[in-house]
Amino acid sequence: MGRRIQFRRGPEATRLQTVLGNGEPGFSTDTKQLYVGDGETLGGVPVLMSKFIEVAAPSVAACGARHLFQAVTTLQLPDEAQNGTTLSVMLSPHAGATQELPARVLAPVSKTISDDEGNADTEYHMTISGIERIFIFIDGGWQIWR
């Protein structure tokens, strides 16, 4: 029989107050997100997950996670993250989004989401299903890679 390996795990609030050891895995039971410690960063560094978090009601995005809009609703980007942190968002073809009623990714309060052309806005609208968009936290703000 194999050995059991345990991860540090618990609620998001506890993770954000904990420094995981270098290489130590941690799991947020609230967001279902995996993190790996570097011995310095509170909460550890998010690991990009392969499974989508389904978004069917207004939600806050989890760093390192993949989010799938299942309905026309909103996803709030976190106010702070470690520089270089990413998360992704995709729209399900069954969500029902249109140009007039898009699924929306919201910038943190008093901040914007910028793109590679220098445009910035407080919202990013999703109306085309099946295209995964990557958001990256750089220099205190969120940028989108298209």
Q: What would the two tokens of residue 135 be?
A: 């958001």
pLDDT digits (tens, 9 = 90+) for 51-79: 899 999 999 999 989 999 999 999 999 99
User: Are 60 and 80 within 8 A, CB to CB?
Assistant: no
User: Are 131 and 101 within 8 A, CB to CB?
Assistant: no
The model's pTM is 0.77
- The 10 Å Cβ neighbour count of residue 6 is 7
- pLDDT at position 132 over 80: yes
Read off the pLDDT of each residue in 28-40 and give the average, rounded to a whole number.
Answer: 88
Radius of gyration in angstroms for the set of CA atoms belonging to the chain, rounded to a whole number: 16
User: Are 48 and 30 within 8 A, CB to CB?
Assistant: no
Look at residue 124 in the predicted model and tell me its pLDDT.
Answer: 96
Q: What pLDDT band is residue 145 in, cutting at 50, 70 and 90? A: confident
